Amino acid sequence: MSIKKIVVVGPESTGKSTLSEALATALNTVWVPEYAREYLESLDRPYTEDDQLLIAKGQVASEDRLIQQANNYLICDTDLYVLKVWGESKYGRVHRWILEEIARRKYDLYLLTNIDVPWQDDPLREHPTPEARLHFYNAYRDVVINSNTPWADISGNEQERLSKALQAIELLGH
């Protein structure tokens, strides 16, 4: 059986990492943390547009490394679409390599985390207003709708989100 690649995608502070970790535990597999967080936490300066390519390459390398340890499923806390949305929003463009990798890499399911959970402050987060959260939710919704990949909207409390995500993953097998 080939490894099914599941991506948790959505705006900032919508529980992507929490859900990714919970799914990996429930499915007895590994998850790919968001490389941008690790990268930005170690940066001793404000990030720039050039950092996006390094973050993208780090995310892809983590995913390619961890799939070797996966057990039926690889849970990805984000993918390169996040960098596409971020680049378009912040800089009005996206590096060609990122776009080429988006076209090349294939996933089996997107889990879109909804904005129905409270904002959690974090020094790396930039868009706390309800309007910004809705804007980015809609941007990610457009991404998954147009990805030609099955997707599910994930809302509710932590347990409800995990249950909805597991139901969506179960449907992949049918």
CA distance 69 to 50: 31
pLDDT score of 128 more than 80:
no
**Taking 70 as the threshold, does the pLDDT of residue 43 lie above it?**
yes
Domain segments of the chain as ranges: 4-172
Q: Quote the CA–CA distance of 20 and 50 in Å, as a whole number.
A: 27
pLDDT band at 125 (very low <50, low <70, confident <90, very high): low
The pTM (predicted TM-score) of the whole model is 0.94
Q: What is the pLDDT of residue 124?
A: 55
Is residue 40 very low, low, confident or very high in pLDDT (cuts 50, 70, 90)?
A: confident
Over 70: is that where the pLDDT of 1 sits?
no
Residue 92, φ and ψ in degrees, nearest 5: 80, 10
d(CA 159, CA 142): 26
User: Confidence class of residue 136 from pLDDT cuts 50, 70 and 90?
Assistant: very high
**Type and span of the H or E element at 133:** helix 130-145
Q: What is the architecture of the domain spanning 4-172?
A: 3-Layer(aba) Sandwich (3.40)
How many CB atoms within 10 Å of residue 138?
Answer: 12
